[in-house]
A and B are shown apart, each in its own frame.
Chain A
Amino acid sequence: MRLHRRTLMAATLATFTLPGLAMAQDDTIKIGLLATFEGAFTVLGEDSERGAMVALSEAGGMAGGKKIEVIKGSSDASPDSAVRAARKLVEQDGVSILVGPLSGDEGIAVKNYALSQPDVTFINGSSAAQDTTFRDPAPNFFRFSTDGAQWMAGLGTYAYNEKGYQNVAVVAEDYSFPYTQVFGFMAEFCQAGGKVTSKSWVPIGNKDYSSVIAAIPDDVDAIYVALGGADAVNFLSQFQQAGGEAPLIGGSITVDQTVLTSKGRLKDVLIGTPAAGPIADTNDAPEWVAFVEAYKETDGAFPSPSLFAHAYYIGMKAAILALNEVDGDMSNPAAYRAALSALSFETPTGMVSLDENRNAIADMYLTEVTEDADGNLVNKLIQVTSQVNQTLGIDKEEFMALGAVSRENPSCE
Chain B
Amino acid sequence: MTTEPFPDQAPARNDLIARIGAGHLALAAVLLVFPFVASDFFTTQIGAYSLIFGMLGLSLMWLAGYGGMVSLAQITIAGIAGYTVAIFGENSADVHGFGWPWWVLVPFAVLIAALASALVGWVSVRTSGIYTIMITLAVATAMFYFAQQNYTLFNGFPGFAGVKAPVVFGIDWRDPMPFYFLSLGVAILCYLAVLYASKSTFGLTLQATRDNQRRMRALGYDVTMHKVFAWFLAGIIAGLAGILLVWFNGRISPGTINVGAAINVLIITVIGGLRHPIGPFLGAVVVILMQTFAIDIVGAERFNTLIGLLFLVIVFVSPDGILGLWEKAKAHLAPGSLRSDI
Shortest CB distance B294–A (Å): 9
With CB as the reference atom, state the residue of chain B lying closest to A407: B151
In the assembled complex, the Cα of A81 lies from the Cα of B41 at a distance in Å of 16
Q: In the assembled complex, how far is the CB of residue B309 from the closest CB belonging to chain A, in whole angstroms?
A: 16
- Determine if A20 is an interface residue (Cβ-Cβ < 8 Å): yes
Within 8 A of A (CB), among B276-320: 292, 295, 299-301, 303-304
**A residues near B250, Cβ cutoff 8 Å:** 112
* B45–A88 touching, CB < 8 Å: yes
Residues from chain A with a CB closer than 8 A to the CB of B162 are: 112
Number of interface residues of A (CB under 8 A): 37
Q: Interface code B72-109, partner A: CB below 8 Å = 1, 0 otherwise?
A: 00000000000000000000100000000000000000
Residue contact A79 to B253, C-beta cutoff 8 Å: yes
Q: Which residues of B contact A1 (CB under 8 A)?
A: 333, 338, 341-342
Known contacts A1-B342, A80-B249; A108/B158 CB under 8 A: yes
Q: Beyond A1-B341, A80-B256, is A13–B37 a contact (Cβ under 8 Å)? A: yes
Q: Is the CB of B300 within 8 A of A79?
A: no
Q: CA–CA, A91 to B341, complex, Å? A: 41
By a beta-carbon cutoff of 8 Å, the part of chain A in contact with chain B is 1, 3-4, 13, 16-17, 19-20, 37-38, 42, 72-74, 76, 78-81, 83-84, 87-88, 91-92, 105, 108-109, 112, 136, 174-176, 203-204, 406-407
| Subset of 26 A-B contacts with CB under 8 Å | A4-B342, A13-B37, A16-B42, A17-B37, A19-B41, A20-B39, A37-B299, A73-B295, A74-B295, A78-B253, A79-B158, A79-B159, A80-B255, A81-B255, A83-B249, A88-B41, A88-B45, A92-B42, A109-B161, A112-B161, A112-B251, A136-B92, A174-B156, A176-B157, A203-B148, A407-B151
Q: Quick check: A17 and B39 within 8 Å, CB to CB?
A: yes
Q: How far is the CB of B43 from chain A (nearest CB, A)?
A: 9
Q: CB < 8 Å: which of A13, A76, A92, A176 contacts B260? A: A76
Cβ-closest chain A residue relative to B335: A1
Residues of A within 8 A of B45 (CB): 84, 87-88, 91-92
Interface centre among B162, B256, B300, B301 (most CB of A within 10 A): B300
A254–B236 Cα distance when bound, in Å, is: 45
Collect the chain A residues with CB atoms within 8 Å of residue B292's CB.
88, 92
Least Cβ distance of B147 to chain A in Å? 12
Give complex CA distance A103, B9 in Å.
48
Chain A: minimal CB distance from B318 (Å): 20
- CB neighbours (8 Å) of A109 from chain B are 161, 251
Q: Please give 15 more A-B residue pairs, beta carbons under 8 A apart, in addition to A78-B258, A83-B249.
A: A1-B342, A16-B38, A16-B39, A19-B39, A37-B301, A78-B256, A80-B255, A83-B251, A88-B41, A91-B45, A92-B41, A108-B158, A109-B161, A112-B251, A176-B157
Q: Which residue of B lies closest to A82 (CB)?
A: B255
Q: Give the residues in chain B near A13, CB-CB below 8 Å.
A: 37
Contact of B300 among A16, A74, A87, A92 (CB under 8 A): A74
Task: Give complex CA distance A204, B254 in Å.
Answer: 12
Q: Is B149 an interface residue (CB 8 A)?
A: yes
A72 to B303: give the CA distance in the assembly, Å.
Answer: 14
Instruction: Kindly list the 7 A-B residue pairs having the minimum CB-CB distance in the complex, ordered from nearest.
Output: A78-B255, A74-B300, A175-B157, A91-B41, A16-B38, A37-B300, A92-B41
C-alpha spacing A203/B150, complex, angstroms: 11
Cα A92 to Cα B288 in complex, Å, equals: 14
Q: Considering the chains assembled together, what is the distance between the CA atoms of A73 and B39 in angstroms?
A: 19
Q: Kindly state the separation between the CA atoms of A277 and B143 in the bound complex, as whole angstroms.
A: 35
Contact pick for A203, options B42, B145, B333, CB 8 Å: B145
Asked whether any CB of chain A lies closer than 8 Å to the CB of B40, the reply is yes
CB-based nearest B residue for A406: B151
- A residues within 8 A CB of B251? 79-80, 83, 109, 112
Residues of A near B256 (CB, < 8 A) are: 78, 80
SS of A interface (majority): helix
Question: Which residues on the A side are within 8 Å of B300 (C-beta)?
Answer: 37-38, 72, 74
Distance in Å: Cβ of B35 to nearest Cβ of chain A: 10
A91 to B159, CA, bound (A): 25
In contact, A16 and B40 (Cβ under 8 angstroms): no
User: Which residues does chain A contribute within 8 Å of B249, judged by CB atoms?
Assistant: 80, 83
Residue of B nearest to A78 (CB): B255
Q: Which residues in A have their C-beta under 8 angstroms from that of B92?
A: 112, 136
Residues of B within 8 A of A204 (CB): 148, 157
Query: How many whole Å from A157's CB to the nearest CB in chain B?
Result: 30
A3–B342 CB distance below 8 A: yes
* Distance to closest chain A CB from B46 (angstroms): 9
Residue of B nearest to A106 (CB): B255
Report the minimum CB–CB distance from B146 to chain A (whole Å). 11
Q: Which residue of B lies closest to A87 (CB)?
A: B45
What is the CA–CA distance of A79 and B257 in the complex, to the nearest angstrom? 12
Selected from A4, A87, A136, A174, the residue in CB contact (under 8 A) with B41 is A87
Q: Which of B148, B253, B303 contacts A38 (CB 8 A)?
A: B303
- Chain A residue numbers with a CB within 8 Å of B37 are 13, 16-17
Cβ–Cβ < 8 Å partners of A74 in chain B: 295, 300
Closest chain-B Cβ to A21's Cβ sits at a distance in Å of 11
Task: Kindly list chain B residues whose C-beta atoms are within 8 Å of the C-beta of A108.
Answer: 158, 161
Q: Mark B148-192, 1 if CB is under 8 A from A, else 0.
A: 110100001111011000000000000000000000000000000
Measured CB to CB, the nearest residue on chain A to B174 is A116
Q: A174, B342: Cβ atoms under 8 Å?
A: no
CB of B287 to closest CB in A, whole Å: 14
A92 to chain B: closest residue by CB: B41
Contacts of B158 in A (CB 8 A): 79, 105, 108, 175-176
Give bound CA distance, A88 to B42, whole Å: 10
Q: How far is the CB of A276 from chain B (nearest CB, A)?
A: 24
CA distance A204 to B299 in the complex (A): 28
Interchain CA distance A76-B255 in the complex, whole Å: 10
User: Once the chains bind, are A79 and B255 in contact (CB under 8 Å)?
Assistant: yes
Q: Which residues of A contact B333 (CB under 8 A)?
A: 1
A136 nearest in chain B by CB position: B92
Contact A38 B301 (CB under 8 A): yes
- C-alpha gap A42/B305 in the complex (Å): 15
Provide the bound-state CA to CA distance between A203 and B145, in Å: 9
Bound Cα distance A112, B39 (Å): 23
Shortest Cβ distance from A129 into chain B, in angstroms? 9
Interchain CA distance A37-B302 in the complex, whole Å = 9
* Residues of B with C-beta under 8 A to A112: 92, 161-162, 250-251
- Please indicate the chain B residues that have their CB under 8 angstroms from the CB of A38 in the complex: 300-301, 303-304
Query: Cβ of B40: which chain A residues have Cβ within 8 Å of it?
Result: 91
Identify which of residues 22-45 in chain B touch chain A, using a CB-to-CB cut-off of 8 Å: 37-42, 45
Residue of A nearest to B33 (CB): A13
A175 touches B156 (CB 8 A): yes
Q: Which residues of B contact A19 (CB under 8 A)?
A: 39, 41
In the complex, residue of chain B having the shortest beta-carbon distance to the beta carbon of A404: B94
CB contacts (< 8 Å) of A87 on chain B: these are 41, 45
